[in-house]
C-alpha cells in the first residue's frame, strides 16, 4: 500500500478470507468446519482473545489453555473475536475429509496492530450485534445471511509519510489430514495434527503421529545424537503429497545413540524444504506388573 495523501497516515493491511461454511447440495451448514490458532501466552487480552461482536459466551470460540490453542467451530451464530497470536499461523479445517487451509505470517511483538490483533475470526449467523450505533438482529435465513466463515490476518500498523509505501507478506498453503482432527503446529513444510512421538520399549522403537505436507516430495526421518549430529536419514514416503494425510504408526530401527528424530520434507529434486515435526526419543519405563499395566490401560 502507498500513502497517496498529502499528510501522514497510519494504516494496517487486512488480509480477509471468506470460506464457505455450507454443505454442498444442501441448505444446512457444515458442523465440522473449524479453525485452530495458537494463543499468545503473554496476550494483552484476558483469556488470550477479545470479543468484538456477538455474545461473550458464544460456543463457537473455545480457548484451550492447556494446549495453548483457540478452537473455532461453526455453529451459525454471529460473532467476531481477535487474538494477538504470536506463532505466525492459523489453520481452517473442513472436518468432513480433513481439508486444511493455512495462512502463515510473521508476528512482530514490538509493533501495534489494528484491534490489537494479528488474527481475527468472523462468523455469519443468527443473533444480535451492535454495529453502526444500533442493535442489529441477524436473520435466520441462509440466503439473506449466508454460511460464511472468515479467517483474517492483519499486519502491524504502518506510519506512512506522503508517497511512502508498505508491504505485508503472508502465505497460503493447503493439505489434507483425513478427518475432523486438530492442527497444533505449522511450518513451511507442513502441519502437525497429532504430535510426533518416538518411543523405545522392549527392544522396539515405535514412531507415531498425524501430519499434512504442503508440497510434493520425499518424506524422510532424520535421527540425531545428544550433540545434534545427524546419525541417519531414512525415507518414510518417497511420494508424499498434500492430497494424502501422513499417518505414522510404525516400528523403526534407530541407532542406540539416537536422542531425537525429525520428520523432514524434501522436494522432488531432493532439496530440503524443511522440518514438519521433531521429538525426543523416549524410553518407556512401564513395569511388567499386571496391576501397573491395568492402570495404564485405564488411563
Q: What is the pLDDT of residues 41-52, one digit of tens each?
A: 999 999 999 999
Q: Confidence class of residue 287 from pLDDT cuts 50, 70 and 90? A: very low
**According to the model, what pLDDT value does residue 286 have?**
55
How many other CB atoms are found less than 10 A from the CB of residue 157?
15
The pLDDT assigned to 203 comes to: 82
pLDDT 10s digits, 244-253: 999 999 999 9
pLDDT given at position 283: 85
Residue located via cell numbers 536422542: 259
**Mean pLDDT, rounded, for 184-196:** 98
Asked if the model's pLDDT at residue 80 lies above 80, the reply is yes
Gap between the terminal Cα atoms of the chain = 55
Minimal CA–CA distance to 242: which of 295, 180, 172?
172
Pairing between β-strand 33-38 and β-strand 134-138 as defined by DSSP bridges: unpaired
CATH class of 187-283: mainly beta
Model pLDDT, residue 236? 95
Give the phi and the psi of residue 297 in degrees, each rounded to 5: -65, -40
Would the pLDDT of 178 be above 70? yes
pLDDT at 298 over 90: no
Q: Average pLDDT, stretch 65-81?
A: 96
Determine the Cα–Cα distance for residues 33 and 124; give it in Å rounded to an integer: 13
**21: which DSSP letter?**
-
| From-to residues of CATH 2.60.40.3020 in the chain | 187-283
Nearest to 193 by CA among 175, 172, 205: 175
**Model confidence at 295, in pLDDT bands (50, 70, 90)?**
very low
Amino acid at each position: 500500500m502507498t500513502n497517496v495523501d498529502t499528510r501522514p497516515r497510519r494504516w494496517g493491511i487486512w488480509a480477509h478470507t471468506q470460506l464457505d461454511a455450507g454443505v454442498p447440495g444442501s441448505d444446512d451448514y457444515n458442523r465440522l468446519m473449524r479453525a485452530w490458532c495458537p494463543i499468545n501466552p503473554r496476550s494483552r487480552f484476558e483469556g488470550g482473545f477479545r470479543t468484538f461482536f456477538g455474545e461473550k459466551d458464544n460456543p463457537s470460540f473455545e480457548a484451550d489453555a492447556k494446549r495453548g490453542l483457540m478452537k473455532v467451530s461453526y455453529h451459525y451464530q454471529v460473532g467476531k473475536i481477535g487474538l494477538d497470536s504470536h506463532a505466525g499461523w492459523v489453520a481452517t479445517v473442513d472436518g468432513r475429509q480433513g481439508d486444511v487451509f493455512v495462512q502463515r505470517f510473521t508476528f512482530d511483538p514490538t509493533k501495534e496492530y489494528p484491534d490489537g490483533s494479528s488474527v481475527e475470526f468472523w462468523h455469519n449467523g443468527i443473533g444480535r450485534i451492535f454495529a453502526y450505533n444500533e442493535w442489529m438482529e441477524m436473520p435466520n435465513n441462509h440466503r439473506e445471511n449466508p454460511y460464511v466463515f472468515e479467517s483474517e490476518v492483519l499486519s502491524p500498523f504502518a506510519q506512512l509519510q506522503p508517497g511512502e509505501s508498505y508491504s505485508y507478506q503472508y502465505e497460503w498453503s493447503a493439505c489434507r489430514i483425513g478427518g475432523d482432527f486438530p492442527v497444533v503446529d505449522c511450518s513451511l513444510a507442513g502441519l502437525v495434527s497429532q504430535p510426533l512421538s518416538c518411543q523405545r520399549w522392549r527392544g522396539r522403537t515405535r514412531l507415531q503421529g498425524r501430519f499434512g505436507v504442503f508440497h510434493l516430495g520425499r518424506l524422510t526421518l532424520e535421527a540425531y545424537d545428544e550433540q545434534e549430529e545427524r546419525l541417519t536419514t531414512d525415507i518414510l514416503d518417497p511420494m508424499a503429497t498434500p492430497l494424502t494425510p501422513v499417518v505414522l504408526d510404525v516400528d523403526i530401527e534407530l541407532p542406540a545413540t539416537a536422542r531425537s528424530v525429525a520428520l523432514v520434507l524434501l522436494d522432488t529434486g531432493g532439496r530440503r524444504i524443511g522440518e514438519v515435526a521433531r521429538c525426543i526419543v523416549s524410553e518407556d519405563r512401564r513395569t511388567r506388573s499386571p496391576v501397573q499395566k491395568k492402570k495404564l490401560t485405564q488411563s
